Amino acid sequence: MNPARKFCTNDRGKKQKEPGPHRRLIMHIDMDAFFAAVEEAHLPVLKGKPVIIGGPADGRGVVTTCSYEARKYGVHSAMSSAEAIKLCPQGIFIHTSAYKYSHASLEIMKILSEFSPQVEPFSVDEAFLDITNTANRYGGPANLAMEVKRRIWDSQKLTASIGIAAIRFVAKMASGVHKPDGLTIIEPGREKEFLWPQPIGKLWGVGPKSEVAFNKLGIKTIGDLANYPKAKMKKYFGVVGESLSDMANGIGEDEVRFTDGDSDDKSMGHEHTFDEDVINPDRILGMLLYLSDKVSRRLRMGGYKGRTITLKLKYSDLKLITRARTIFKNTDCANTIYETARYLLEKNRFTERPIRLIGVSVASLEKIEFELQQDLLEPPSLRADRVDEVIDYLRDKFGEHSIRFARTQLKY
Protein backbone atom coordinates (compact mmCIF):
# COMPACT_ATOMS: atom_id res chain seq x y z
CA MET A 1 0.00 0.00 0.00
CA ASN A 2 1.23 3.49 -0.78
CA PRO A 3 2.42 4.77 2.62
CA ALA A 4 0.97 8.19 1.87
CA ARG A 5 -2.54 6.67 1.83
CA LYS A 6 -2.35 4.84 5.13
CA PHE A 7 -4.68 6.39 7.71
CA CYS A 8 -4.32 5.56 11.38
CA THR A 9 -7.01 6.80 13.79
CA ASN A 10 -7.40 5.79 17.42
CA ASP A 11 -6.60 2.44 18.95
CA ARG A 12 -10.19 1.28 18.51
CA GLY A 13 -9.95 1.74 14.75
CA LYS A 14 -12.84 4.23 14.74
CA LYS A 15 -12.49 7.51 12.94
CA GLN A 16 -12.12 10.33 15.43
CA LYS A 17 -14.23 13.47 15.37
CA GLU A 18 -12.68 16.68 14.16
CA PRO A 19 -11.65 19.13 16.91
CA GLY A 20 -14.13 21.93 17.64
CA PRO A 21 -13.95 25.26 15.79
CA HIS A 22 -13.01 27.49 18.71
CA ARG A 23 -9.78 25.84 19.80
CA ARG A 24 -6.34 26.24 18.36
CA LEU A 25 -5.20 23.33 16.21
CA ILE A 26 -1.58 22.24 16.47
CA MET A 27 -0.04 19.61 14.26
CA HIS A 28 3.18 17.82 15.15
CA ILE A 29 4.89 15.96 12.34
CA ASP A 30 7.62 13.43 13.09
CA MET A 31 9.46 11.75 10.21
CA ASP A 32 9.73 7.97 10.55
CA ALA A 33 13.26 6.61 11.17
CA PHE A 34 14.39 9.69 9.27
CA PHE A 35 18.10 9.10 8.63
CA ALA A 36 17.58 5.45 7.71
CA ALA A 37 14.58 6.33 5.53
CA VAL A 38 16.60 8.97 3.66
CA GLU A 39 19.30 6.39 2.95
CA GLU A 40 16.66 3.96 1.69
CA ALA A 41 15.16 6.64 -0.54
CA HIS A 42 18.59 7.23 -2.08
CA LEU A 43 19.31 3.50 -2.39
CA PRO A 44 16.00 1.57 -2.71
CA VAL A 45 17.80 -1.80 -2.43
CA LEU A 46 18.04 -1.07 1.30
CA LYS A 47 14.27 -1.09 1.77
CA GLY A 48 13.03 -3.83 4.04
CA LYS A 49 16.50 -4.47 5.44
CA PRO A 50 17.93 -3.74 8.91
CA VAL A 51 19.70 -0.44 8.23
CA ILE A 52 21.75 1.02 11.11
CA ILE A 53 23.00 4.59 10.93
CA GLY A 54 26.06 5.35 13.04
CA GLY A 55 29.70 4.59 13.66
CA PRO A 56 31.43 1.36 12.64
CA ALA A 57 30.86 -1.74 14.74
CA ASP A 58 34.58 -2.46 14.95
CA GLY A 59 35.34 0.75 16.84
CA ARG A 60 33.69 2.93 19.48
CA GLY A 61 30.79 3.80 17.20
CA VAL A 62 27.32 4.63 18.44
CA VAL A 63 23.97 4.04 16.75
CA THR A 64 22.37 7.32 15.69
CA THR A 65 19.15 5.71 14.48
CA CYS A 66 18.02 2.62 12.60
CA SER A 67 15.25 1.31 10.41
CA TYR A 68 12.20 -0.38 11.89
CA GLU A 69 13.51 -3.71 10.62
CA ALA A 70 16.61 -3.27 12.80
CA ARG A 71 14.50 -2.22 15.78
CA LYS A 72 12.80 -5.62 15.74
CA TYR A 73 16.12 -7.06 16.91
CA GLY A 74 16.34 -4.65 19.83
CA VAL A 75 18.63 -2.10 18.18
CA HIS A 76 18.00 1.49 19.25
CA SER A 77 19.65 4.90 19.15
CA ALA A 78 22.52 5.66 21.56
CA MET A 79 23.40 1.95 21.69
CA SER A 80 27.00 1.08 20.94
CA SER A 81 27.52 -0.20 17.42
CA ALA A 82 29.33 -3.24 18.84
CA GLU A 83 26.22 -4.21 20.82
CA ALA A 84 23.99 -3.53 17.82
CA ILE A 85 25.92 -5.93 15.60
CA LYS A 86 25.59 -8.66 18.26
CA LEU A 87 21.82 -8.22 18.31
CA CYS A 88 21.54 -7.88 14.55
CA PRO A 89 24.50 -9.56 12.77
CA GLN A 90 22.94 -8.95 9.36
CA GLY A 91 22.58 -5.23 10.04
CA ILE A 92 23.79 -2.87 7.31
CA PHE A 93 25.87 -0.07 8.89
CA ILE A 94 25.94 3.30 7.15
CA HIS A 95 27.83 6.41 8.25
CA THR A 96 25.71 9.50 8.83
CA SER A 97 25.49 11.85 5.87
CA ALA A 98 24.48 15.26 7.16
CA TYR A 99 24.18 16.75 3.69
CA LYS A 100 21.50 14.25 2.65
CA TYR A 101 19.52 14.66 5.85
CA SER A 102 19.78 18.45 5.89
CA HIS A 103 18.69 18.68 2.26
CA ALA A 104 15.69 16.41 2.85
CA SER A 105 14.78 18.34 6.00
CA LEU A 106 14.84 21.67 4.20
CA GLU A 107 12.65 20.29 1.41
CA ILE A 108 10.15 18.94 3.95
CA MET A 109 10.01 22.29 5.76
CA LYS A 110 9.28 23.99 2.44
CA ILE A 111 6.35 21.64 1.92
CA LEU A 112 5.02 22.28 5.41
CA SER A 113 5.16 26.04 4.86
CA GLU A 114 2.64 25.58 2.04
CA PHE A 115 0.07 24.28 4.54
CA SER A 116 0.56 26.92 7.23
CA PRO A 117 2.41 30.23 7.55
CA GLN A 118 3.23 29.21 11.11
CA VAL A 119 5.80 26.41 11.05
CA GLU A 120 8.26 25.75 13.86
CA PRO A 121 11.08 23.34 12.96
CA PHE A 122 11.68 21.46 16.20
CA SER A 123 14.58 19.34 15.00
CA VAL A 124 15.92 18.07 11.70
CA ASP A 125 13.00 15.60 11.44
CA GLU A 126 10.23 17.22 13.49
CA ALA A 127 8.09 20.33 13.26
CA PHE A 128 5.02 21.98 14.77
CA LEU A 129 2.40 23.70 12.60
CA ASP A 130 -0.48 25.94 13.63
CA ILE A 131 -3.28 24.80 11.31
CA THR A 132 -6.11 26.63 13.08
CA ASN A 133 -6.82 28.89 10.12
CA THR A 134 -5.89 26.55 7.29
CA ALA A 135 -7.45 23.17 8.17
CA ASN A 136 -10.88 24.04 6.75
CA ARG A 137 -9.38 24.76 3.34
CA TYR A 138 -8.67 21.03 3.08
CA GLY A 139 -11.94 19.83 4.56
CA GLY A 140 -10.61 19.50 8.10
CA PRO A 141 -7.37 18.62 9.90
CA ALA A 142 -7.45 14.93 8.96
CA ASN A 143 -7.62 15.73 5.25
CA LEU A 144 -4.89 18.33 5.63
CA ALA A 145 -2.68 15.82 7.40
CA MET A 146 -3.21 13.23 4.69
CA GLU A 147 -2.33 15.78 2.03
CA VAL A 148 0.86 16.66 3.92
CA LYS A 149 1.77 12.98 3.99
CA ARG A 150 1.07 12.62 0.28
CA ARG A 151 3.18 15.64 -0.65
CA ILE A 152 6.15 14.47 1.40
CA TRP A 153 5.91 10.97 -0.05
CA ASP A 154 5.67 12.24 -3.63
CA SER A 155 8.60 14.61 -3.11
CA GLN A 156 10.98 12.62 -0.91
CA LYS A 157 9.60 9.05 -0.77
CA LEU A 158 9.50 9.37 3.03
CA THR A 159 6.71 8.66 5.51
CA ALA A 160 5.74 10.72 8.52
CA SER A 161 3.63 10.26 11.63
CA ILE A 162 1.34 13.11 12.61
CA GLY A 163 -0.42 14.13 15.82
CA ILE A 164 -3.06 16.85 16.02
CA ALA A 165 -4.38 18.40 19.22
CA ALA A 166 -5.29 21.71 20.81
CA ILE A 167 -2.22 21.54 23.08
CA ARG A 168 1.35 21.51 21.88
CA PHE A 169 2.79 18.66 23.95
CA VAL A 170 -0.30 16.50 23.40
CA ALA A 171 0.14 16.85 19.63
CA LYS A 172 3.76 15.72 19.99
CA MET A 173 2.82 12.70 22.09
CA ALA A 174 0.01 11.82 19.69
CA SER A 175 2.38 11.70 16.71
CA GLY A 176 4.22 8.80 18.35
CA VAL A 177 1.18 6.62 19.00
CA HIS A 178 0.83 4.90 15.65
CA LYS A 179 4.31 4.89 14.15
CA PRO A 180 5.25 4.46 11.42
CA ASP A 181 3.07 6.47 9.02
CA GLY A 182 0.37 7.15 11.61
CA LEU A 183 -2.18 9.87 12.19
CA THR A 184 -3.75 10.46 15.60
CA ILE A 185 -6.18 13.28 16.38
CA ILE A 186 -6.99 14.15 20.00
CA GLU A 187 -10.25 16.06 20.35
CA PRO A 188 -10.22 19.11 22.64
CA GLY A 189 -11.55 18.07 26.02
CA ARG A 190 -10.37 14.48 25.64
CA GLU A 191 -6.74 15.10 26.57
CA LYS A 192 -7.08 13.29 29.90
CA GLU A 193 -8.70 10.30 28.23
CA PHE A 194 -5.66 10.11 25.95
CA LEU A 195 -3.00 10.82 28.58
CA TRP A 196 -4.04 9.10 31.78
CA PRO A 197 -3.75 5.41 30.79
CA GLN A 198 -0.21 5.86 29.47
CA PRO A 199 2.92 4.97 31.51
CA ILE A 200 4.45 7.96 33.26
CA GLY A 201 7.60 7.58 31.16
CA LYS A 202 5.58 8.53 28.07
CA LEU A 203 4.88 12.05 29.37
CA TRP A 204 6.94 14.58 27.47
CA GLY A 205 9.74 15.76 29.75
CA VAL A 206 9.92 12.64 31.93
CA GLY A 207 13.23 10.85 31.45
CA PRO A 208 14.38 7.44 32.75
CA LYS A 209 15.67 8.87 36.05
CA SER A 210 12.49 10.84 36.66
CA GLU A 211 10.43 7.75 35.86
CA VAL A 212 12.25 5.78 38.56
CA ALA A 213 11.66 8.60 41.06
CA PHE A 214 7.96 8.72 40.21
CA ASN A 215 7.63 4.95 40.49
CA LYS A 216 9.04 5.11 44.01
CA LEU A 217 6.17 7.46 44.87
CA GLY A 218 3.69 4.97 43.45
CA ILE A 219 3.16 7.00 40.29
CA LYS A 220 3.04 4.48 37.45
CA THR A 221 0.80 6.22 34.93
CA ILE A 222 0.18 9.78 33.79
CA GLY A 223 -3.21 9.49 35.49
CA ASP A 224 -1.49 8.67 38.78
CA LEU A 225 0.53 11.86 38.45
CA ALA A 226 -2.54 13.91 37.58
CA ASN A 227 -4.22 12.81 40.80
CA TYR A 228 -1.13 13.19 42.99
CA PRO A 229 -1.22 16.29 45.24
CA LYS A 230 0.34 19.16 43.34
CA ALA A 231 1.79 20.63 46.54
CA LYS A 232 3.75 17.44 47.12
CA MET A 233 4.97 17.46 43.53
CA LYS A 234 6.32 20.96 44.07
CA LYS A 235 7.93 19.89 47.33
CA TYR A 236 9.70 16.92 45.74
CA PHE A 237 10.52 18.30 42.30
CA GLY A 238 10.14 22.08 42.52
CA VAL A 239 8.76 24.06 39.58
CA VAL A 240 9.39 21.11 37.26
CA GLY A 241 7.04 19.00 39.38
CA GLU A 242 4.31 21.61 39.14
CA SER A 243 4.73 21.82 35.38
CA LEU A 244 4.54 18.05 34.94
CA SER A 245 1.46 17.94 37.17
CA ASP A 246 -0.25 20.47 34.91
CA MET A 247 0.74 18.51 31.82
CA ALA A 248 -0.67 15.32 33.30
CA ASN A 249 -3.97 17.18 33.66
CA GLY A 250 -3.93 18.27 30.04
CA ILE A 251 -2.72 21.81 30.70
CA GLY A 252 -0.05 23.18 28.38
CA GLU A 253 0.95 25.67 25.70
CA ASP A 254 -1.09 26.11 22.55
CA GLU A 255 1.46 28.24 20.70
CA VAL A 256 3.70 27.46 17.76
CA ARG A 257 6.89 29.50 17.99
CA PHE A 258 7.36 30.13 14.32
CA THR A 259 9.60 32.43 12.31
CA ASP A 260 8.52 34.24 9.17
CA GLY A 261 10.76 32.72 6.52
CA ASP A 262 10.68 35.92 4.42
CA SER A 263 11.89 38.22 7.15
CA ASP A 264 15.39 39.18 8.14
CA ASP A 265 14.87 37.36 11.44
CA LYS A 266 14.89 33.81 10.11
CA SER A 267 17.49 31.74 11.90
CA MET A 268 19.21 28.41 12.23
CA GLY A 269 20.07 26.98 15.62
CA HIS A 270 20.66 23.93 17.77
CA GLU A 271 20.16 23.28 21.46
CA HIS A 272 20.88 20.53 23.99
CA THR A 273 19.17 19.48 27.22
CA PHE A 274 21.58 17.94 29.73
CA ASP A 275 20.58 14.72 31.49
CA GLU A 276 21.36 16.49 34.75
CA ASP A 277 21.80 20.20 35.49
CA VAL A 278 25.39 21.22 34.78
CA ILE A 279 27.56 23.89 36.38
CA ASN A 280 30.97 22.66 35.21
CA PRO A 281 32.27 25.43 32.86
CA ASP A 282 34.29 22.96 30.76
CA ARG A 283 31.23 20.85 30.00
CA ILE A 284 29.13 23.93 29.26
CA LEU A 285 31.74 25.48 26.95
CA GLY A 286 32.35 22.12 25.29
CA MET A 287 28.66 21.79 24.48
CA LEU A 288 28.52 25.41 23.34
CA LEU A 289 31.34 24.76 20.87
CA TYR A 290 29.68 21.57 19.68
CA LEU A 291 26.40 23.42 19.04
CA SER A 292 28.19 26.31 17.33
CA ASP A 293 29.92 23.82 15.06
CA LYS A 294 26.58 22.19 14.16
CA VAL A 295 24.97 25.56 13.40
CA SER A 296 27.99 26.59 11.33
CA ARG A 297 27.84 23.43 9.22
CA ARG A 298 24.09 23.74 8.72
CA LEU A 299 24.53 27.34 7.54
CA ARG A 300 27.11 26.33 4.97
CA MET A 301 24.96 23.46 3.73
CA GLY A 302 22.09 25.87 3.16
CA GLY A 303 24.31 28.54 1.65
CA TYR A 304 23.55 31.10 4.36
CA LYS A 305 25.48 33.52 6.52
CA GLY A 306 24.17 35.63 9.39
CA ARG A 307 25.10 38.45 11.75
CA THR A 308 23.01 37.99 14.90
CA ILE A 309 24.15 35.27 17.32
CA THR A 310 21.74 34.31 20.09
CA LEU A 311 22.54 32.36 23.25
CA LYS A 312 19.67 30.46 24.87
CA LEU A 313 19.71 29.06 28.41
CA LYS A 314 17.24 27.30 30.66
CA TYR A 315 17.80 26.71 34.36
CA SER A 316 16.41 23.99 36.63
CA ASP A 317 13.41 26.20 37.49
CA LEU A 318 12.61 26.23 33.72
CA LYS A 319 13.35 29.96 33.51
CA LEU A 320 14.34 30.71 29.93
CA ILE A 321 16.93 33.39 29.14
CA THR A 322 18.17 34.60 25.76
CA ARG A 323 20.87 37.11 24.91
CA ALA A 324 21.89 38.19 21.41
CA ARG A 325 24.70 40.12 19.79
CA THR A 326 24.92 41.41 16.24
CA ILE A 327 28.40 41.34 14.76
CA PHE A 328 29.83 43.56 12.03
CA LYS A 329 30.05 41.01 9.22
CA ASN A 330 27.91 38.04 8.11
CA THR A 331 29.44 34.74 9.12
CA ASP A 332 29.09 30.98 8.88
CA CYS A 333 32.32 30.38 10.81
CA ALA A 334 32.10 27.99 13.77
CA ASN A 335 34.75 29.80 15.77
CA THR A 336 33.11 33.22 15.31
CA ILE A 337 29.74 31.86 16.38
CA TYR A 338 31.29 30.12 19.38
CA GLU A 339 33.35 33.10 20.56
CA THR A 340 30.34 35.41 20.31
CA ALA A 341 28.11 33.00 22.23
CA ARG A 342 30.87 32.48 24.78
CA TYR A 343 31.16 36.24 25.22
CA LEU A 344 27.42 36.43 25.97
CA LEU A 345 27.69 33.49 28.39
CA GLU A 346 30.61 34.90 30.37
CA LYS A 347 29.65 38.56 30.24
CA ASN A 348 26.30 37.79 31.86
CA ARG A 349 27.83 35.30 34.35
CA PHE A 350 25.35 32.64 33.33
CA THR A 351 27.55 29.76 34.49
CA GLU A 352 27.13 30.64 38.16
CA ARG A 353 23.94 28.54 38.30
CA PRO A 354 23.36 24.97 37.13
CA ILE A 355 22.18 24.91 33.52
CA ARG A 356 19.48 22.56 32.24
CA LEU A 357 19.50 23.55 28.55
CA ILE A 358 21.83 25.51 26.30
CA GLY A 359 21.34 26.59 22.70
CA VAL A 360 22.87 28.82 20.05
CA SER A 361 21.39 30.22 16.87
CA VAL A 362 22.32 32.59 14.07
CA ALA A 363 19.73 35.02 12.68
CA SER A 364 19.46 37.85 10.13
CA LEU A 365 20.41 35.31 7.49
CA GLU A 366 21.30 36.13 3.91
CA LYS A 367 21.63 33.69 1.05
CA ILE A 368 25.19 33.74 -0.26
CA GLU A 369 25.15 33.83 -4.04
CA PHE A 370 28.91 34.17 -4.39
CA GLU A 371 31.97 34.38 -2.18
CA LEU A 372 33.37 37.82 -1.47
CA GLN A 373 36.92 38.43 -2.59
CA GLN A 374 39.45 37.17 -0.10
CA ASP A 375 41.26 39.77 1.97
CA LEU A 376 44.69 39.97 0.35
CA LEU A 377 46.28 41.01 3.62
CA GLU A 378 45.12 37.86 5.39
CA PRO A 379 47.09 34.66 4.74
CA PRO A 380 44.71 31.94 3.49
CA SER A 381 46.18 29.40 5.89
CA LEU A 382 45.07 31.50 8.83
CA ARG A 383 41.51 32.11 7.75
CA ALA A 384 39.01 30.36 10.02
CA ASP A 385 36.61 29.66 7.20
CA ARG A 386 39.28 27.64 5.41
CA VAL A 387 39.44 25.43 8.49
CA ASP A 388 35.67 24.97 8.28
CA GLU A 389 35.97 24.02 4.61
CA VAL A 390 38.52 21.32 5.43
CA ILE A 391 36.29 20.02 8.24
CA ASP A 392 33.32 19.93 5.86
CA TYR A 393 35.34 17.96 3.32
CA LEU A 394 36.44 15.38 5.89
CA ARG A 395 32.93 14.96 7.28
CA ASP A 396 31.38 14.62 3.85
CA LYS A 397 33.93 11.93 2.96
CA PHE A 398 34.29 10.04 6.24
CA GLY A 399 31.14 10.85 8.24
CA GLU A 400 29.93 13.46 10.70
CA HIS A 401 31.90 12.07 13.63
CA SER A 402 35.19 11.70 11.76
CA ILE A 403 36.53 14.99 13.13
CA ARG A 404 35.56 17.19 16.06
CA PHE A 405 36.92 20.05 18.09
CA ALA A 406 38.87 18.72 21.07
CA ARG A 407 36.71 20.51 23.64
CA THR A 408 33.56 18.80 22.32
CA GLN A 409 34.89 15.33 23.15
CA LEU A 410 33.60 15.71 26.71
CA LYS A 411 30.73 13.39 27.63
CA TYR A 412 27.33 14.94 28.19
261 is a domain residue: no
- Does the structure show a pLDDT above 80 at 407? no
Q: What was the pLDDT predicted at 381?
A: 35
Considering the domain architecture, whether residues 63 and 157 belong to the same structural domain is answered as yes
Shared domain check, 213 and 176: no
Q: What is the pLDDT of residue 300?
A: 83
d(CA 161, CA 139): 20
- Supply the DSSP string of 87-144, one letter for each residue: H-TT-EEE---HHHHHHHHHHHHHHHHTT-S-EEEEETTEEEEE-TTTGGGGTSHHHH
pLDDT band (50, 70, 90) for residue 68: very high
Q: Do 58 and 170 have their domain in common?
A: yes
- Average of pLDDT values for 212-236? 93
Q: Does residue 390 or residue 159 have the better pLDDT?
A: 159
What's the CATH number where 113 sits? 3.30.70.270
Is the same domain home to 153 and 4? yes
Q: Can you give the CATH number for the domain in which 272 is found? A: 3.30.1490.100
Residue 26 DSSP SS3: strand
> Looking at the structure, do residues 85 and 67 belong to the same domain, yes or no?
yes
CB 213 within 8 A of CB 202: no
Higher pLDDT pick, 401 / 339? 339
Q: Is residue 316 part of a domain?
A: yes
Mean pLDDT on 32-40: 94
Q: In what order do the strands lie in the sheet with 63-66?
A: 63-66, 51-54, 92-94
Q: Calculate mean pLDDT across residues 145-168.
A: 96
The β-bridge partners of 362 are 268, 309
Bigger pLDDT: 248 vs 394 = 248
- Residue 21: which pLDDT band, with cuts at 50, 70 and 90? very low
3-state secondary structure of 83: helix
pLDDT tens digits for range 284-343? 988 898 899 889 888 887 788 999 999 999 988 778 899 999 998 899 999 899 999 999
Quick: pLDDT tens for 375-385.
434 444 344 55
Structural domain harbouring 372: 268-409
Q: pLDDT digits over 349-365, tens only?
A: 898 889 989 999 999 88
Average pLDDT over residues 172-198: 95
256 found inside a domain: no
* Residue with the larger pLDDT of the pair 370 and 113: 113
Model confidence at 199: pLDDT above 60: yes
Domain presence at residue 262: no
In which band, very low, low, confident or very high, does the pLDDT at 4 lie, cut at 50, 70 and 90?
very low
User: Is the pLDDT assigned to residue 18 strictly greater than 80?
Assistant: no
Which pLDDT score, from 0 to 100, does residue 66 have?
93
Confidence band of 8 (pLDDT split at 50, 70, 90): very low
Q: Do 116 and 89 share a structural domain?
A: yes
For residue 246, name the pLDDT band (cuts at 50, 70, 90). Answer: very high
| 283 & 372 share domain | yes
Helix or strand or coil: residue 230? Answer: helix
Number of domains in the chain: 3
Q: Which of 89, 92, 67 is nearest to 77 (CA)?
A: 67
105 with 203, same domain: the answer is no
Residue 103, in any domain of the structure = yes
More confident residue, 97 or 125: 125
Q: Is residue 356 part of a domain?
A: yes
pLDDT for the residue 391? 55
Bridge partners, 123 (sequence order): 126
Higher pLDDT among residues 191 and 255, named by residue? 191
pLDDT band for position 386 (cuts 50, 70, 90): low
Distance, in Å, from the CA atom of 393 to the CA atom of 412, rounded to the nearest integer, reads: 26
**Residue 218, number of CB atoms within 10 A of its CB:** 8
Q: Looking at the structure, do residues 181 and 221 belong to the same domain, yes or no?
A: no
**Residue 368 forms part of a structural domain:** yes
pLDDT band at 403 (very low <50, low <70, confident <90, very high): low
Give me the pLDDT at residue 206, please. Answer: 85
Whether the pLDDT of residue 112 is over 70: the answer is yes
Q: Indicate the residue among 187, 207, 235 that finishes a domain.
A: 187
Residues 138 and 118 in one domain: yes
Q: If you average pLDDT over each of 16-30, 49-63, 309-323, which comes out highest? A: 309-323
pLDDT-derived band at 412 (thresholds 50, 70, 90) equals: very low
Determine the length of the chain: 412
Within-domain flag for 94: yes
166 with 216, same domain: the answer is no
User: Are residues 75 and 101 located together in one domain of the fold?
Assistant: yes
Catalytic residue among 39, 40, 120, 126: 126
Cα distance between residue 411 and residue 409, in whole Å: 6
The separation between the first and the last C-alpha atoms of the chain, rounded to the nearest angstrom, is: 42
Distance CA 268, CA 292 (A): 11
Quick check: is 339 catalytic?
no
CATH number at residue 201: 1.10.150.20
